[in-house]
A and B are shown apart, each in its own frame.
Chain A
Amino acid sequence: MLNIRNLHASVEGKRILNGLNLEVKSGEVHAIMGPNGSGKSTLAQVLAGREAFEVTEGSVDWDGVDLLAMPTEERARAGLFLAFQYPVEIPGVSNAYFLKAAVNAIRRQRGLDEYDAMDFLARVKAEMKAVGMKEEFLYRSVNEGFSGGEKKRNEILQMALLEPRLAVLDETDSGLDIDALKIVAEGVNRLRSPERSMIVITHYQRLLDYIVPDQVHVLSEGRVVRSGGRELALELEEHGYGWIKTEPAPAAAGAQGARP
């Protein structure tokens, strides 16, 4: 279980998160929505441990461990995965090399044998098939020259390979056409399991047509201002984010776990 309490964070001196509360139980999928600048991506970066984001107050408890005290790579090895909004290009480093290094770093942590080249190739090829990626992407440089959709599929591929306990998807749907969106959503749905929690960050409701969340939270000015079931997303779509600001927010103080 992930328990975020009163989280405050700033970047370059600018306060972005202002007392965010959120609780995600094992096996649950939570959607985070909100207008641009409401702190959605900052939440993702803070959870993953990006150094440029400074946590000034609050706590994040992850199955009894203080997540904020862990270095970035240890969070990853403990099973936290972030699907990047803008996957990063690494020229000259083949996707196969990168993926194998990542998978083995995590397998080591879990006390499993490292994959040799043969095991790895068998595994990665099977996963690539599932996300509809051609094998040639193994031998191209990490994300270099990939289209938007190919980059996002590569993120889903990595998520499938790394088998996280907690996956945070940061606007994975942005810039995707409907076919790519479906493939990404299928990948996510396939990975849903009772041991795995997911936080799906999105600006648009349409992703939630394909990934049905257990809960939806709306962020505004760095706080959860509204929580509810899937219907909250539909309401949002109908009224727009402006509606959140004008409507009194009954659950603003204790939004986490707001399900009746």
Chain B
Amino acid sequence: MNAQTSTLDPKLDPAPAPASSDDAIGAFLQQEYTAGFETVMESDSLPKGLSEDVIRQISARKGEPEFLLEWRLESYRRWLTMTPPKWAAVQFPPIDFQDIVYYSAPKSKKDGPKSLDEVDPELLRTFEKLGVPLHERARLAGVAVDAVFDSVSVATTFKKELGEHGIIFCSFSEAVKTHPELVRKYLGTVVPPADNFYSALNSAVFSDGSFVFIPKGVKCPMELSTYFRINARDTGQFERTLIIAEEGASVSYLEGCTAPMRDENQLHAAVVELIALDDAKIKYSTVQNWYPGDKDGVGGIYNFVTKRGDCRGARSHISWTQVETGSAITWKYPSVILRGDDSVGDFYSVALTNHRQQADTGTKMIHMGRNTRSTILSKGISAGRGSNTFRGLVKVTPRAEGARNYTQCDSLLVGDRCAAHTFPTIEVRHPSAHVEHEATTSRIGEDQLFYAMQRGISAEDAVSMIVNGFCREVFKELPMEFAVEAQKLLGVSLEGSVG
């Protein structure tokens, strides 16, 4: 079975809400991107452009072993033969890949900070301004943080405490030095370099990211978190994250991201690989707040990301939760390969597009093991002239007896100039499979707004309340402190959504 549907063209809606309620929403929506400042600091950057020589320099700067340099070069050669994907429902001018800086790091006097005390105070202030305290003294509900600034990780907190449990949580560069055997064993096994154009590019030039290893039987005692910040101009960020949970291990991991406001578009092409062995559980949450560009669509981040989890072991469980409010363009499909018998994959997503933002996001659930289960819950909110596309694949392979999937895909429209599209694809090759798909599209009702306002609630609070209500099923999947953050972010991102 293969189904493709496209829902909604709001312009065809015969009963537009009265202009006044749109005005009310519009009036609500004029808050600015708050993370858009730039930190002035000296950086060590390579010149613009990409070549084998640039890749050798990146690898040399990071003091990498030979196998990794070879892997990068091989990826680069594959990338040269590939072309950017054209199938997504997004529009942008061609990217000049020679006009990008592939490596930029804050300049430090030594080889790198050995402890937080050696981290440039300007950097610490930057992260504090963003609400990411790196001082372990400021214990944020016991969350360990790895902070990545442009191309390098600047600090990882709670290392010692985690180390006592045998947990490795460090920057990717550090893992390459201290645990090359683990990196070599797992890198590229979930997302092969040539998987797609952007994963090949990432594999060639990736600079830093986070590495997590939870040994057999260990439940990680705290939330792990990585915070990504693009600062330098004309710089692409190509981070690489690898999370491995051994047999019976479990971990909850969260990433957040911001960037300064600039008129040029900046590229962010990350690769995230998750590996869950028997009975392991990985919960990966993202609150994505890259700069979305201004209200006319000038500037903003192109967020072209490949995220995939491999439920390699029996009864393993991988859960993706994402709240996507930023980026000019989002192209992202966190997926799960359900290889182990009885393994479980979840995808919970809120994607909001306002002004001229475009998002083409969704997931792939590949059922290979027996009695594998997956759940997809997608909430798309389109406002302003935003375009929001859900693209999903549920695939049940011939030996995936007893596979089950439930998909629910809801779109909410704010105003009458936005768009929402749904492209679900279902491929079933086993007769015992049970696949359900539900989709709805609704508009923030003038009647809902009027009802709330008649109770004394302002239009802006009413819109925010209705949108948060729409997303509640997804927010409840987020770790507590981030659920609050996500709600706030949604309020901010809706600013100026109509008008």
Interface residues of A (CB under 8 A from B): 48-52, 71-73, 75-77, 81-82, 84, 87-93, 97-98, 101-102, 105-106, 109, 141, 158, 162
Task: State in angstroms the CA–CA spacing of A75 and B453 once bound together.
Answer: 9
Nearest B-chain residue to A143, judged by Cβ: B451
Residues of B within 8 A of A (CB-CB), count:
26
Given A50-B450, A84-B451, do A90 and B456 touch, yes or no (CB 8 Å)?
A: no
Say yes or no: is B448 at the interface (Cβ < 8 Å to chain A).
Answer: yes
Chain B contacts with A in 448-473, Cβ cutoff 8 A: 448, 450-459, 461, 465-466, 468-473
Chain B residues positioned under 8 Å from A81 (CB to CB): 454
> Could you tell me if B447 and A97 are in contact, using CB atoms closer than 8 angstroms?
no
Could you list which residues of chain B lie within 8 angstroms of chain A, going by C-beta atoms?
A: 18, 20-21, 445-448, 450-459, 461, 465-466, 468-473
Cα A141 to Cα B493 with chains together (Å) = 24
Interchain CB contact (< 8 A) of B465 among A73, A87, A93 = A93
Question: Does the CB pair A92–B454 fall under 8 Å?
Answer: no
Given contacts A101-B461, A102-B457, contact A90 B452 (CB under 8 A): yes
Question: A92-B469, A92-B470, A93-B468 in contact; A73/B458 too (CB < 8 A)?
Answer: yes
Q: Are A92 and B473 in contact (CB-based, < 8 A)?
A: yes
Given contacts A51-B20, A88-B445, A105-B458, contact A93 B451 (CB under 8 A): no
Q: Is the CB of B457 within 8 A of A105?
A: yes
Could you list 10 further interchain pairs (A-B, Cβ under 8 angstroms) beyond the known A72-B453, A89-B448? A51-B18, A51-B20, A71-B453, A72-B454, A73-B453, A92-B469, A98-B452, A98-B457, A101-B461, A162-B455
CB <8 Å contact, B471 and A92: yes
Q: Are A88 and B469 in contact (CB under 8 A)?
A: no
Q: Provide the bound-state CA to CA distance between A101 and B455, in Å.
A: 9
- How far apart are the CA atoms of A141 and B465 in the complex, in Å? 12
Find the residue from B20, B445, B453, B472 having the highest chain A CB count within 10 A.
Answer: B453
Bound complex: CA A52 to CA B461 (Å): 21
- Contact at A72–B469, with CB atoms within 8 Å? no
- Asked whether B457 lies within 8 Å of A90 as measured between CB atoms, the reply is no
A97 to chain B, nearest CB (A): 7
Question: B468 to A92, Cβ gap below 8 A?
Answer: yes
Q: Are B456 and A102 in contact (CB under 8 A)?
A: yes
Contacts of B465 in A (CB 8 A): 90, 93, 97-98, 101
Closest chain-B Cβ to A214's Cβ sits at a distance in Å of 25
Which of these, B451, B453, B458, contacts A87 with CB under 8 Å?
Answer: B451
Pull 17 A–B residue pairs with CB atoms less than 8 Å apart, ordered by A. Answer: A51-B18, A51-B446, A73-B458, A75-B454, A76-B454, A84-B451, A87-B451, A92-B473, A97-B465, A98-B457, A98-B465, A101-B455, A101-B461, A102-B452, A105-B457, A105-B458, A162-B456
Which residue in B21, B448, B451 is a CB contact (below 8 Å) of A51?
B21
Closest 5 interchain pairs by CB? A92-B469, A93-B469, A102-B455, A105-B456, A51-B20
Q: Which residues of B contact A73 (CB under 8 A)?
A: 453-454, 456-459
Pick from B20, B451, B465, B470 the residue with the most CB of A within 10 Å. B451
With both chains docked as a complex, state the minimum distance between the C-beta of B278 and any C-beta of chain A, in angstroms: 36
Cα A106 to Cα B450 with chains together (Å) = 16
How far is the CB of A110 from the nearest CB of chain B, in Å? 10
> Within the complex, what minimum Cβ distance (angstroms) separates A161 from chain B?
9
A52 and B459 contact, CB distance less than 8 A:
no
Name the residue among A52, A76, A92 with the largest chain B CB count within 10 angstroms: A92
Bound together, the chains give a CA A92 to CA B453 distance in angstroms of 18
